[in-house]
Amino acid sequence: MTDLFGSIESLSAAYVTHQTKPSKVVDAHLQAIEKHNPHLGAYQTVFFDQAMQAAEAADKAFMSGYRIGPFHGIPFALKDIYELEGQICTNGSMTLKDRVSAKTGTVVRRLIAAGGIILGKSKTVESAFGGWGTNQKMGTPWNPWDMKNHRIPGGSSSGSGVATAAGLAVCGIGSDTGGSVRLPAAYCGIAGLKVTEGQLPCDGIAPLAQTLDSPGPMAQTVADTVILYEVMLGRESSLIDRDLQTGGGLYQMMGKGVRGLKLGQMAQSERDNCSADILAGYDLAIDALQRLGAEIEVFTSPFGYGSLADDNGAITAVEAYNNHGHLYEDSAAPMDEDVRKRMLTGKAYLAHDYVRMLETRRNRCDEFNEAIKGFDAILTPSTTSTAPKIDDVDQAISPGHFTRPFNYLAMCGLSVPTGLAKDGMPHSLQIIARAHDEAMAIRIGASIESVTPSIGRAPL
């Protein structure tokens, strides 16, 4: 029998052979949302009627022989910072709970044009400003790998991560300014791609920090992440189909393996930031890549990742305050107080401070790129620990120790699940490649995925 909660790849194939149809898949996901979302809280809004109407239209298209491509009929979760004409877009804020979008942005139009079916708007950290995934006013989704204890889902694309991991969507759309795709992907046990900044259009997406923001795909497998990425790029669906069927393009890279690649592993100074469980999973992944033929060598960054993460946070705070500070200056507004503290730090910087930040960033990017000459990619854990319980979180600390540096350095990265720790929570490998070399991150990610037992969907 066809798994109605399968991947983009498997469902697309099942549609072609008429083993199932989009209306059955969408209905199954909507039923799962009705059953589990009251506890998990992945969605801010669910489009029950609209999603079924779109699914029935897709059924008719398939019956008449009109198939757009591999994303046609696939139900997905859309982070509630993306504008969708006629629908409410809260940006995770109670203050904006009734705000209706006037237009649909480019990325969302591409997803719809490719035949994707939006199940609803997924929850987000307020203003997308936070890596833990918490939201005081609108609710914090539960990490689905622990249904008894409320553990953080990772943020800010918290709802998309939870929905994808729990079978409440086939895949999800997030955004990444300091790790907001990779962190929830890592904590929830799915794949998440941080694309090179400027590669995807950000119109119709509420900005956090325009210098660093990038939309990004979240999915069950590396291949699904690639399909979503190409759809978001606006690539013609027939060309994506062709490459999938022939093993061309990025899908060819997925099969090339890692033999002969030189990959940089963490220095001891960075290992000291990680829990024992995270290091155990990281070392297993490194060993697996070495067995596959990769050359592994310690890479020592010219800058500590903690320092780079702080620099990323400073630019984010300045630009975020410019975008949203007026909401947080109003002490009577029902804003998330944790986000308010972060947001208001941005007002302390003067214009020359900000100019110096950007100049320093350019210089550090040049120096880092010089340091990684000879390496094909850098490998770190995605997080320093598995998902903590929400009551154990220190909001003054960002979980983006390993993610924020690479937004700052204008690189791309892929988080891939590598197993479950002793506490039953996922751990994840982060693969960092040079700007515009998503193909390298995907190549390595597919290789580690091929030799790592799948953790599957979270057992609800």
Residues with a known catalytic role: 79, 156, 180
DSSP 282: H
Alpha carbon distance 169, 188 (integer Å): 13
Under a CB-based contact definition with an 8 Å cutoff, are residues 182 and 430 in contact? yes
DSSP class of 80: T
The neighbouring-strand residues paired with 157 are none
On the question of a cis peptide bond just before residue 156, with omega within 30 degrees of 0, the verdict is yes
For the record, the structure tokens of 152 come out as: 């953080």
Do residues 213 and 177 lie in contact, with contact meaning Cβ atoms separated by under 8 Å? yes
- 3 state SS for 383-411: CCCCCCEHHHCCCCCCCCCCCHHHHHCCC
The CB-side HSE value for 324 (13 A sphere, CA atoms) comes to 29
Q: Helices 337-344 and 305-329, interaxial angle, to 10°?
A: 110
Locate 137 and state its tokens.
Answer: 């006013």
261 half-sphere exposure, CB direction, 13 A CA radius: 26
Q: What is the rounded distance in angstroms from the CA atom of residue 148 to the CA atom of residue 252?
A: 42
Identify the DSSP state of 418. E
Helix H or strand E segment including 283: helix 276-291
How many Å apart are CA 80 and CA 155, to the nearest integer?
Answer: 12
Instruction: Tell me the β-bridge partners of 441.
Output: none
Count Cβ neighbours within 10 Å for each residue of 162-180 and write b for 16 or more, e otherwise.
bbbbbbbbbbbbbbbbbbb
Cα–Cα distances in angstroms (integers) from residue 263 to residues 182, 426, 449, in the given order: 20, 23, 16
